[in-house]
Amino acid sequence: MDGEQKNIKSEKITVERKNFFFDLKENGRGRFLRITEDVRGRRDAIIIPAPGLEEFRKALDAMIDACKDSSNATV
C-alpha cells in the first residue's frame, strides 16, 4: 500500500453554495483526513494526519464556541 490510498469513510455536507467532502483515508504513511471544499467546480483541500485530529477538533470547537459567544453579545 505504498502510493495507494484506501478510503475508510466519507461524508459530504453542503453549506450555502459550498460542498465539503470529508474523506478519512489510509496509505503507507498512515491515516489522514482530507477535507475538500468545492465551490462551483473549484476545489481546495487540506490534509490532517490522524494524530492531529484531536487537536484539530479542539481548535474547531473553540471557533464554534467563539462564534456562539459573539452572536449572543449585544452591540
Is-contact 19 38, C-beta < 8 A?
yes
6-70 under CATH 3.10.450.700, yes or no: yes
The three cell numbers locating residue 75: 452591540
Q: What is the pLDDT of residues 1-58, one digit of tens each?
A: 557 999 999 999 999 999 999 999 999 999 999 999 999 899 999 999 999 999 999 9
Q: Is the dihedral of CA 46, 67, 12, 54 positive or negative?
A: positive
3-state class (DSSP) for residue 3? coil
Q: What is the pLDDT of residues 50-62, one digit of tens each?
A: 999 999 999 999 9
Tell me, what's the pLDDT at 2? 55
Tell me, what's the pLDDT at 75? 40
Is-contact 23 37, C-beta < 8 A?
no
Domain ranges of the chain: 6-70
Note if the pTM is more than 0.85. no
53: amino acid identity, one letter: L
The three cell numbers locating residue 24: 478519512
